[in-house]
Each structure stands twice: as C-alpha cells, then as structure tokens.
Chain A
Amino acid sequence: MKRSCLILIFLTSSFSVAGASELDNMLTGYRDAGAAGFSAERGKLLWTKSHTIDGEQRSCSSCHTADPAAHGKHVKTGKPIEPIAVSANPERFTDMAKTEKWLRRNCKWTLGRECTPQEKGDLLTWLGGQEE
C-alpha cells in the first residue's frame, strides 16, 4: 500500500513537471533574468510599434501582419509565415532554442537591438494568450 502510494506520488509529480510548457519555462527564464510581471497589453504595443531602421519603417507586423493569428508574409521575399499566435498555431513557442533564435534575429531587424527579457516576456505573454 505504502509502495503504491509512493509510485502514485512519483507519477503525479513527474506529470506536473512535464505539464509546465516550454512557454512557461521561457517566461520563468525571463523573470530569472530580471524581468518583472508580464503584460499582454505591453506586448501588443511592442508588436505594432514602428521603428526606423536603415531608412525603413519596420515593425513585427511588417511580416506577421497586425493580427498575430493571421497568416503572415515576409515583407521582402514573400515567404508565407504561419500564424504566430498560439491560439491559431499551437506549435508556436514549443521549442525554446528556435524561439530564442528567431527573437534574436527579428528583434535586431525590427528594433535594431536585441529585446530585453521584459519585452520578450511581454510579447510571448500576448502571443501565448496568457495573462498573469
């Protein structure tokens, strides 16, 4: 009895560890890196904000469109881009290395610098559709 109880506890705990999504892990990482609470509202503002880089007006929506649940299109090459919002594309933000790679590239292209952990957390909170 005691033994099966232990097995049960073990199973439940491992389940809850697996239940923490990759997105949760990333948000935890940003908090550990100094970010405060995250806001979907701030994420949305960052998404639509336009920046002048190399004489071009650039924003996230240049390629992803203003609606992150819509299909996007690369502003230059025309490459189709799957929706970035988790609600429309559950594959998004399930791979930390891939997410970080694209955040690094796209923040540098759009803002001319890397995003801060706070900005990344706000963005992912909005795109993930989860409010703290």
Chain B
Amino acid sequence: MKKTLLILISLMLGLTASVALLAGHDEREQGDYHEYRESDHDDDDDDDRRGWLRRIAGSSDKGQYPARGQDPAFDAYRNECGDCHMAYPPNMLSRDSWRGVMASLENHFGDNAELDAETAGEIGSFLDRHAARTMDGAGTGRPARITETRWFRAQHHEIPARMVTNNPGVKSFSRCEACHTRAAEGGFDEHDVRIPGYGYWDD
C-alpha cells in the first residue's frame, strides 16, 4: 500500500515537471516567433517599420487591431485617416513629411480631408511622436507620398504595373491592404503578400 502511494506521488511529480517544461518551451517558441516578426534577417532596412502598431498600441495579439492604444491619440488617428484609406503606419514617413501632410489637408492629394483644429492638432502630435526618425529622401518638408519615398520604391521596384496599377483588384500602390494581408495590423512581411489575381509574391 505504502509502495503504491509512493509510485503515485512520483508519477504526479514527474507529470507536473514535464508540463512545466512544455510550457517553458511554448513560451520560448512564441518569443522566437515575435523576434522573427520584428526582423526578417535580411539586409534591407524595413525591420524598423515592423511591429509599429504593437509598439504604439502595446499589444502583441496576432491578428488583432487593438481598439485602444497606449497612445491616447491612436483612435483619432485610425478613425479619421482610416475613414478614407488605410491608416498608414506613421513611421512610413518622416516627421517633416507628416507636417506637410497635416498643413495641407484642404488639398490632400486632390481631395479635401480637412479636420477641425482640435482633431488636427491631436493627430499632428501623434504623427510627430511616431514618425520615422531617420529616413532618406523623405525629409523634404513637403507632403511626400509614401509611395515616392526611396525605401518604398526599393521595396517595390520589381513589381510590374500589371500587378498593381493595371490590376483592377489593386489599382494603386497606396492600397497596402490589397496585397499585404496583414497590413491592418502593421504586418508587412513578404510572406503575407497575396496579390489579387496573382497570389503569392516571391522575389
């Protein structure tokens, strides 16, 4: 009887230990995954733009666009700008360029996107806080298009017009989300690209 009890206790202990080990393994794997998402281990400069949303919103939920971010102006930015187009990651333009954009909302690339002064101020300082700190060719003081920045062109120069501009499912490079399936969450990994009518992109 005593012996059975001992065996039982040791079995339970062993089980607990292995569960703990497994859990530890899980955590490590998840950690690796996030690290992997942060950096794609190539030699280009797009790593800095990864995970911007998570940094701002303080959330690492995969596939979740958080309702409220740590930055109190996040909702205003997403709602106002996302009303007409994807709320682009703010670190896709320099502070200078964003200031140019905010100063010319009345003629926003041919459209009127005026905001009341309070909202414009809130969003303007949000963009100041999260704009790209270093960006070649974008700090010109004018409202640069993201698609005209050097890094954007370097990333997309191999993609033929028939897949984007002449593709009725895409129409414009400004519609990130048309091909970058995780763009809304700030995910621009090449593995998540599906070009409408063409599918995977592999370069």
Chain A residues close to B by CB (< 8 Å): 74, 76-79, 97, 101, 104-106, 108-109
Q: Chain A at the B interface: mostly helix, strand, loop or mixed? A: helix
Known: A77-B172, A78-B171. A108 touches B114 (CB 8 A): yes
Q: Does B112 contact A74, Cβ atoms closer than 8 Å?
A: no
From the candidates A76, A78, A101, A104, name the one contacting B111 in the complex (CB within 8 A).
A76
A-B contact count (CB 8 A): 27
Contact indicator A106/B112 (Cβ below 8 Å): yes
For B, the interface residue count at a CB cutoff of 8 angstroms equals 14
A105 to B116 Cα, complex, angstroms: 11
| Residues of B participating in the A interface, judged by any CB pair closer than 8 Å | 84-85, 106, 110-116, 171-172, 174-175
**A-B pairs with beta carbons under 8 Å apart, 15 shown:** A74-B84, A76-B111, A77-B172, A77-B175, A78-B171, A79-B85, A97-B116, A101-B114, A104-B114, A105-B111, A105-B112, A105-B113, A108-B106, A109-B111, A109-B112
B175 partner residues in chain A, CB cutoff 8 A: 77
Write the nearest CB–CB distance from A107 to chain B, whole angstroms.
9
What 5 A-B pairs are tightest by C-beta distance, nearest first?
A: A105-B112, A109-B112, A108-B112, A105-B114, A78-B171
